[in-house]
Amino acid sequence: LSEKFNTVSGRLSQNTNIDLENGMVHYFTGTGASNNQVLNIKFSNSVSLNTIMSVGETVSVTVMVTQNNTSGYVGNIQIDGANVVESWIGGSAPTDGSSSGIDIYTFNIIKTANATFTTIANQNKTT
């Protein structure tokens, strides 16, 4: 099995839209992010994730960010431009990133009703 992924040469802070038509894994090679980033997860610019998913379906999205300072991190996401409440593994949202290496964020998104999602989020830091 293999899965396509999206490599983005820019910084996460300059590319906060995560379009799943480009893959479920997004790798940002531009170093760092600034402060608390809010990601907007959608299917594409013209098709919403809500339209693509049926109630009872789930997707798992991974975002990898090359780091060079601890001030950049992902603390929240949106789905189709709407804020969602994440349930963070460990009990609370991140407040920083690693000072080097790659920070890895995973979002398990479950559609429970029309435009209603339960999201389990996780951050892992590498050196």
Q: What pLDDT, on the 0 to 100 scale, is given for residue 33?
A: 64
Start-to-end C-alpha separation, the chain = 28
Can you tell me the mean pLDDT for 26-35? 80
Who's near 47: CB < 8 A, 6+ residues apart? 21
pTM score of the predicted model: 0.93
List, in sequence order, every residue forming a beta bridge with 6; answer none if it has no partner.
26
What is the per-residue pLDDT across 54-87, written as a single tens digit (0 to 9) for each? 999 999 999 999 887 777 899 999 999 999 999 9
CA–CA gap between residue 105 and residue 127 (Å, rounded): 15
Q: What pLDDT, on the 0 to 100 scale, is given for residue 127?
A: 83
CA–CA gap between residue 19 and residue 10 (Å, rounded): 15
Q: What pLDDT, on the 0 to 100 scale, is given for residue 109?
A: 98
Q: What pLDDT, on the 0 to 100 scale, is given for residue 98?
A: 87
What is the per-residue pLDDT across 90-102, written as a single tens digit (0 to 9) for each? 999 999 888 888 9
What is the CB neighbour count within 10 angstroms for residue 43? 19
CB 72 within 8 Å of CB 12: yes
